[in-house]
Structure 1
Amino acid sequence: MGDKVPRRTLDSLVTQVASELMGVDATTMVAATEDVLARLIDHFDVDYAYVRHTDRELRATILMAEWPRRAPIPNPDPMHTVSFDRPHFLFGEIEHATEPILTGPMPMCAAMREAFGWDREISHLTSAAVPLVSRGEPTGLLGFVKAGERDWSTREINVLKAIAALFAQLQARVVAEEQLRYIALHDDLTGLANRRALLEHMEDRLRPGSPGPVATFFLDLDRLKALNDFLGHTAGDNFIRTLSGRLREHLDPHDMIARLGGDEFVIVPAKPMDAVAAELEAVRIQQLIGRRVVVGGESVSRRASVGVAVGMPGETTVADLLRGADHALLSAKSGGGNGVAVFTDAMRAQFELQDDVELNLRGAVADGSMLLHYQPEVDLRTGRIVALEALVRWMHPTRGLLPPAAFVTVAEATNLAGELGRWVIRSACAQFAEWRRRGLAGNVVMRINVSPVQLVSLDFVERIEDILRLFGIDGSSVCLEITEHVVVQDLARTQVTLRGLKRMGVQIAIDDFGTGYSSLSHLKALPVDAVKIDRGFVQRLGASTDDLAIVKSIIGLAGSFGLGVVGEGVETPVAARTLVGLGCYRAQGFLIARPMPADEVEAHLSVGRIPLELDLPRVGRGQTAR
């Protein structure tokens, strides 16, 4: 056969194709392939050219690019995916072929004419199919169709084989790139999207002009560690995989489902959702997760907490939307788990405050922004001041005076509780010593709250001893208050610390007593001097018979152990009268006095009492205060 195209032109053609395909990747492959096919059509004087990929799992040949593009493309397109089980007229012999297959001339039927979109009368066509071969295996096809007859020379076929080899290399490179990208964007345990893929998807969803609102669900499985501990990590992994499959099966195929690791998942629905619809969908997902799964021969289930946040494209950033869902998740988990919470403006304000506190708290301890207020504790029968509780405040540069509830929890979470606690003890003792030097607070006890971090510190007792010695304060004039849950956390270490304090004469009180942590055995085991009834019970005295019964039992319990008892949160005369009637004579609360700065306390200390108009029964007036 004679060459249809001159040898030099064929050689330059291969070089040109190689140059065009050199820098192609997955995103540009189709466009670059179409350009090459157009060039090949011109060179070889054919009517149609294509590149196809062989899918071994489907056992089918799939159209990757064609030129010219057929228009209109039939629906369904008979040329797109052609199974080898039902071979198309052009692909009958190519599944395992590694050498070119030339066909024709063959009769042109109506089905062929429709497939190619040709409306002209053509009686015959000729085709050439050149396999794309990689490592000896056919991976695709470079093909040409000519209306009528076309003879292919040996030289032309060799050139087409060389070009097919270039396409095979391109396909192999793109497949490798896609595999690497898949690995980079997917969780290896579940095959779900990973954090990187999630962020890319959310960036796209939140672009200006995209449909919204965009909902985001942050999921956390409750107590997955217990499942791992009981059945082993393999069973735990199987549970995660099964759960992931269930999510894929029951959610919209276009929803983004990402696993961030461990027991955390994020779902971004494809459909726009407002907060109401998103909360309903979160409950559905929560119920879906809660269905039982058989792993390790056991039927198990885990509940889930779900945080929901909703943002608008062009207005909300990815970071803000994820942070909102994460904050909502924390709120959902705060009630013990298995909750659903939607991020709100109130939550935003709360967490903005928390972020602000975390950022500035360390400096506040050092720069003098912290200060102490003092709340008097009195004998309800006489109004005599018997103790002062030191309460820390923070004069924030922009938020004003912050109560301890706004920053103490953050201090404990950021390892600042010890530093803050040492400042409180030292400052309270310095003020106490100054009052006593001036003849005030002679018969008053200074009460100071102690954090869990301080109580289990190995040098805590030594530090207290140094401070008392520095300011010349007798240990019996100081009472350190600890909460019930501190006692339970580390009973053995607490015993050692409290016994060391008692050797110095320091008094010990259990604060917020009655909230459910302590037991009789703890009271027996610890050298405690007093209990302070939790304000929640005291505030409802006169309105709740249940709280009355609890307060009565606490006072009786304290009496049986020889402990003092103090009522916190006294805000009404009826609460004060009820306490006195039950035999609890020491109390503090807003009815008596709010926490106040040191200079305001001095006015009360100089008098020694705070007048109270409680109309107490006579039986209580002559009794001794506990």
Structure 2
Amino acid sequence: MTSRTDDDAAGAPVAADVAVPVPARPAGTDEPAVAPRARPRLLPTVAAVVATGLFAAWLADDLGSRYLRLLVSDLVFVAAPSVAAVACWRAHRRTDSGHTGWLWLSAGMATWAVGGVIWAVYELVLGIVAPFPSAADVGFIGYALFVGVGIARFPRAAGGFLSRWRSLLDGLVIGASMMLMSLIWVLAPITDDGSWTAKHSVALAYPVVDVIVASLALMRLLVRPPGRRRTWALLGAALILLSATDSLYVAETFDRNFRPGGLVDLGWLATFALIALAATHAKDDRPAPDEQAESLPPSMAQQLVPYVAIGFAAAAYLSFTDTEHGSHHYLWLLVPYVVLVAVRQVVVVADHTAVARDLGQAVERRTAQLRHQEQWWQDLVQNLSDVVMVVGPGGSVEYCSPSIGTGLGSWPGQVEHVADVWSRVHPDDRVAVRRSMSPVLEGRRRQSFVECRLSRANGVWGWFEVTVVGQLNERALVGAVVTLHDVSERRQLTDRLMHQADHDALTGLPNRLSLMRRIDELLDEREPGEGVASALLLIDLDDFKVINDSHGHPAGDRVLEVIGRRLEGGVRESDTVARLGGDEFAVVTTGSVDEVRATADRLMQRISEPVAVGGRRFLVRASIGVVFAGDREHENADALLSHVDIALYEAKARGKGGVVYIEGSEREAAATQVRLREQIAQPDLSQFRIVYQPVVDLATRQVRGVEALLRWQHPELGNVPPDEFIPMAEHGGSIQRLGWWVLESVCRQVAAWSRQVPRHRLAVGVNVSIRQLDEPDFAVRVLDLIDEHGLERDQIILEITEQSLARDFENAVEVVAQLRAGGVSVAVDDYGTGYSSLQYLDRFAADVVKIDRSFVSNLVANEHTQKIVSSVLDMARALDLQSIAEGIETPEQLDVVLRLGCELGQGYLFSRPVGAEAIGELLGAGPLAEPTSAASVSVA
């Protein structure tokens, strides 16, 4: 039970706050929920853009012979309309909308494709230029019949008589404007030569039919509601582009300038790509029910489109009068056009008037709905589930809301005095209630609050939040408002939350916080020298991420629940099993050393038993780290948890599925590891240095580059191996800081070498952690750093290990693409040590493959390894990748690597990792010594 008082009379509320539940839909309204919009289909859009872009690039490069260009052009213009036809047919099958619009559009695209086939027969089979006009023009012009019928078959958008007329006139104005622009800007020289033949008729038919179908599409676009115009916008853009392309084709044909592979071809391809995209998005643009039932006012864009068309038409005519083809006898073109625009304006004004009238009626309807809702809210307040009482100065109840019957159950008789309510207070809460409420009822306090238990009619205790607010009138108490708010569910939730604060929500096991308390309790209970060991076991499920990724998180959660129960069943009641998060568990146990080891073995066996989930059987393995607690004087929960984490890390490093114990003197080594982890989390960069190992041309012994390697010279522990501190830095989050320090230092050093030995343009490989690639601006920062030091971007080669790619391959691919686009080279390091290597190389756009030293060390004695390395080198050559063999230490290894065709190599045979000064000397000395004496001349 809790209580709170508030003596602040000034500005205090005069009534208790009441929580009012809000229903999902007020009574008397009929507003359907808005369905979520479907996500745009990205893949077809990307495919269309890529296909068009590749074709444009091919046209721009002017590649191939004339026949090849004819062949590619003709094949594309049979395939492109065919793809569009298939897309329209699939849209008809997919939308299931009850009309045949997409089917007619599919027939129109097929008709155009037939024209393309006839055209190809002329050029590729008969070997002649297709005449104009020809049989192919039947398909190129006849498509419009099918497309026009198809557009007409689509259902019309809702709207009144004037709205439909406005959309019709808008389409006519746009069509007339397009026709006028086509005649003036493109076809004027054709129609003004004084003659008229079948050739002129066919030439004029192209823009006429194109303008008609484009206008029909734009008419549909202009009446579509906002957010539902994607399909028609794509279709309208395609038909407008087709109109412009056909007009250009006719003009070039008359001028005898048309040839395949020009801008006209690109326009046709883009047209059919847009039509295919429109069909792909057809399902996304089906109108919602409310859009079908109600006409919406035209948007600003819808109103501006016809005026834009009128403006272009006027510009075309004004420019036309200043050309050699301009003359007054073309003035007749403007007469019907101006009349059409004037009629359209009249209809627009009338439509706007009608829309304003409709909006006024809609406002009236909405006002009536608001009145209804206001009454609904008034009824709701009077029927609150909270109990509201007005209590007079003597405790008499002047008003009590009817909800007292539902709030406290069946109430016995009329409530006349506040004591009738207090009699139902739980005995343990009555003193606190009286202490909290009496000052307010007596006029000594403005407001008070308390939570207490009240008995319901059925005898069940419920938790209520009781608020009393005193009502003052010129400092004289005239009453108080008492509000009873049922908080039973909230209290239950609070109890559950308190339980969850100490327990894992999925397994119900104690969590980390509870585990730490239990460890401290156990250490406090231990008596020195009692011969009983206390141990902490840290258990991590190996490769558990595979279950989540392959079968989904629900299956993974179910496996965790089963493992949690097994762990509980495998220990004594006095032991504690906790889940620390993810796939990590911990067990606190006591007993002899042998008993602790037996417990670890038993838990390992129980975990390894198959787990049946949803008809599947999962085999789960685990790694366990175990640490034995020391004396309480030198022990605490944090140290135990840190040391057992070291043991678990070692267990995983040994191959997973094992147990590693840390006890006695081993605790000192674990403490050292903990200290290194703490120090590497905030690294002192003055303790680090960079050494460089040359990468040489195996044929000439010339130094072609170097690899930068990081070294940690610890002031107390000496040289800490990279294999030891690099994983710590990645785990502790400091790898990003170290990585940027290495990159900046390397760039500065390469710039110094360039000044020292300007005839050598040295490339330097720098190892990059996969965690660095997670930084959102990584690629930009790398490029800026290289440019800041005045280097060529390909002088820096970023090396990423194959195993690290598996952690976040998709992000790595994206970042590497940005780096390579900026000119930075990328290498796959330790190639062959991970899995799915071919898959990674296929998608990972690298420049260099570095063969891991584990393969090179076995080359001489193992023919199977030679075959593997040979295959890798063949694959690298096929993918145009440079290959570097790592770890060449003997002349025999060098002979085999050279025989297999590797270009570059590094290793102790040529030079150990050395300082920057030694690299400068090597660059000035020329080729490295012959292999027979290389070891003796290496600088180290």
Displacement, 1:315? 7.6
Report the Cα distance in structure 1 between the residues aligned to 2:764 and 2:815, rounded to whole angstroms: 19
Report the Cα distance in structure 2 between the residues aligned to 1:536 and 1:404, rounded to whole angstroms: 17
Report the Cα distance in structure 1 between the residues aligned to 2:797 and 2:634, rounded to whole angstroms: 51
**1:230 corresponding residue in structure 2:** 554
Displacement, 1:243? 2.4
**1:329 corresponding residue in structure 2:** 648
1:51-66 paired onto structure 2 within 5 Å: none
Report the Cα distance in structure 2 between the residues aligned to 1:363 and 1:271, rounded to whole angstroms: 40
Is residue 2:697 matched to residue 1:355? no
1:236-251 paired onto structure 2 within 5 Å: 239=562, 242-243=565-566, 246-248=569-571, 251=572
Is residue 2:751 matched to residue 1:428? no
**1:340 corresponding residue in structure 2:** 659
Contact 2:801 2:830 in 1 (8 A): yes
Contact 2:680 2:732 in 1 (8 A): no
- Please list the CA deviations of residues 490-527 of structure 1 after superposition, one character each: whole Å capped at 9, or x if unmatched: 44443443343334433222111111345334434344
Displacement, 1:238? 5.8
- Higher deviation after alignment, 562-571 or 392-401: 392-401
- Please list the CA deviations of residues 132-188 of structure 1 after superposition, one character each: whole Å capped at 9, or x if unmatched: xxx9xxxxxxxxxxxxxxxxxxxxxxxxxxxxxxxxxxxxxxxxxxx9xx9899869
**2:762 corresponding residue in structure 1:** 444
Q: 1:553 to 1:243 in 2, by over 3 A?
A: same
Report the Cα distance in structure 1 between the residues aligned to 2:838 and 2:690, rounded to whole angstroms: 34
Q: 1:325 to 1:452 in 2, by over 3 A?
A: closer
Match of 1:598 among 916, 920, 934: 916
Q: 1:593 to 1:346 in 2, by over 3 A?
A: farther
- Please list the CA deviations of residues 220-251 of structure 1 after superposition, one character each: whole Å capped at 9, or x if unmatched: 45539849933586x56863674255225xx4
Match of 1:501 among 806, 819, 825: 819
Report the Cα distance in structure 1 between the residues aligned to 2:560 and 2:764, rounded to whole angstroms: 55
Q: 1:523 to 1:245 in 2, by over 3 A?
A: closer
Report the Cα distance in structure 1 between the residues aligned to 2:655 and 2:578, rounded to whole angstroms: 23
Q: 1:581 to 1:354 in 2, by over 3 A?
A: farther
The one-letter code sitting in structure 2 at the alignment partner of 1:406 is E
1:456-495 paired onto structure 2 within 5 Å: 456-495=774-813
The one-letter code sitting in structure 2 at the alignment partner of 1:451 is S
Report the Cα distance in structure 2 between the residues aligned to 1:473 and 1:212, rounded to whole angstroms: 65
Report the Cα distance in structure 1 between the residues aligned to 2:903 and 2:727, rounded to whole angstroms: 31
**1:256 corresponding residue in structure 2:** 575
**1:373 corresponding residue in structure 2:** 691
The one-letter code sitting in structure 1 at the alignment partner of 2:523 is E
Contact 1:513 1:532 in 2 (8 A): yes
Q: 1:435 to 1:350 in 2, by over 3 A?
A: farther
Is residue 2:729 matched to residue 1:411? yes
Report the Cα distance in structure 2 between the residues aligned to 1:599 and 1:351, rounded to whole angstroms: 37
**1:557 corresponding residue in structure 2:** 875
Give the helix-richer structure, 1 or 2.
2
**1:539 corresponding residue in structure 2:** 857
Is residue 2:893 matched to residue 1:575? yes
Report the Cα distance in structure 2 between the residues aligned to 1:531 and 1:196, rounded to whole angstroms: 47
Report the Cα distance in structure 2 between the residues aligned to 1:294 and 1:504, rounded to whole angstroms: 51
Contact 2:677 2:732 in 1 (8 A): no
Report the Cα distance in structure 1 between the residues aligned to 2:677 and 2:516, rounded to whole angstroms: 30
Displacement, 1:548? 2.2
**2:866 corresponding residue in structure 1:** 548
**1:218 corresponding residue in structure 2:** 538
- Please list the CA deviations of residues 431-487 of structure 1 after superposition, one character each: whole Å capped at 9, or x if unmatched: 111111122561432222222233343323322332232222122333222222444
Q: 1:468 to 1:190 in 2, by over 3 A?
A: closer
The one-letter code sitting in structure 2 at the alignment partner of 1:325 is V
The one-letter code sitting in structure 2 at the alignment partner of 1:550 is I
**2:160 corresponding residue in structure 1:** none
Report the Cα distance in structure 2 between the residues aligned to 1:187 and 1:500, rounded to whole angstroms: 45
Displacement, 1:588? 0.6
Q: TM-score, normalised by structure 1?
A: 0.59
Is residue 2:927 matched to residue 1:609? yes
Q: 1:336 to 1:405 in 2, by over 3 A?
A: closer
**1:394 corresponding residue in structure 2:** 712
Displacement, 1:595? 0.8
**1:273 corresponding residue in structure 2:** 593
Report the Cα distance in structure 2 between the residues aligned to 1:391 and 1:369, rounded to whole angstroms: 14
Give the strand-richer structure, 1 or 2.
1
Q: 1:573 to 1:278 in 2, by over 3 A?
A: farther
Report the Cα distance in structure 2 between the residues aligned to 1:339 and 1:519, rounded to whole angstroms: 27
Displacement, 1:589? 0.9
The one-letter code sitting in structure 2 at the alignment partner of 1:601 is I
Contact 2:681 2:732 in 1 (8 A): no
Q: 1:557 to 1:348 in 2, by over 3 A?
A: farther
The one-letter code sitting in structure 1 at the alignment partner of 2:657 is N
Displacement, 1:269? 4.7
Report the Cα distance in structure 2 between the residues aligned to 1:298 and 1:492, rounded to whole angstroms: 29
**2:352 corresponding residue in structure 1:** none
The one-letter code sitting in structure 2 at the alignment partner of 1:243 is R
Report the Cα distance in structure 2 between the residues aligned to 1:330 and 1:242, rounded to whole angstroms: 24
Identity %, equivalent residues: 31
CA RMSD, 1 decimal: 3.9
Q: Which consecutive unaligned segments of at least 5 residues does structure 1 have?
A: 1-134, 136-178, 617-626
Report the Cα distance in structure 2 between the residues aligned to 1:428 and 1:544, rounded to whole angstroms: 37
**1:91 corresponding residue in structure 2:** none
Contact 1:198 1:256 in 2 (8 A): no
Report the Cα distance in structure 2 between the residues aligned to 1:546 and 1:569, rounded to whole angstroms: 18
Contact 1:279 1:340 in 2 (8 A): no
- Please list the CA deviations of residues 30-67 of structure 1 after superposition, one character each: whole Å capped at 9, or x if unmatched: xxxxxxxxxxxxxxxxxxxxxxxxxxxxxxxxxxxxxx
Displacement, 1:421? 1.7
Match of 1:584 among 896, 899, 902: 902
Q: 1:472 to 1:603 in 2, by over 3 A?
A: same
The one-letter code sitting in structure 1 at the alignment partner of 2:729 is A
The one-letter code sitting in structure 1 at the alignment partner of 2:643 is G
Contact 2:623 2:648 in 1 (8 A): yes
- Please list the CA deviations of residues 386-439 of structure 1 after superposition, one character each: whole Å capped at 9, or x if unmatched: 111111223333233434333322332333222222221221111111111122
Q: 1:560 to 1:216 in 2, by over 3 A?
A: same
Report the Cα distance in structure 2 between the residues aligned to 1:241 and 1:475, rounded to whole angstroms: 53
Q: 1:542 to 1:201 in 2, by over 3 A?
A: same
Displacement, 1:600? 2.0
**1:20 corresponding residue in structure 2:** none
- Please list the CA deviations of residues 366-402 of structure 1 after superposition, one character each: whole Å capped at 9, or x if unmatched: xx33321111111233321111111122333323343
Report the Cα distance in structure 2 between the residues aligned to 1:480 and 1:559, rounded to whole angstroms: 20
Q: Which consecutive unaligned segments of at least 5 residues does structure 2 have?
A: 1-426, 428-494, 935-940
Report the Cα distance in structure 2 between the residues aligned to 1:471 and 1:349, rounded to whole angstroms: 43
Displacement, 1:257? 3.0
Report the Cα distance in structure 1 between the residues aligned to 2:607 and 2:704, rounded to whole angstroms: 56
The one-letter code sitting in structure 2 at the alignment partner of 1:239 is V
Aligned residues: 430
Is residue 2:496 matched to residue 1:207? no
Contact 2:909 2:931 in 1 (8 A): no
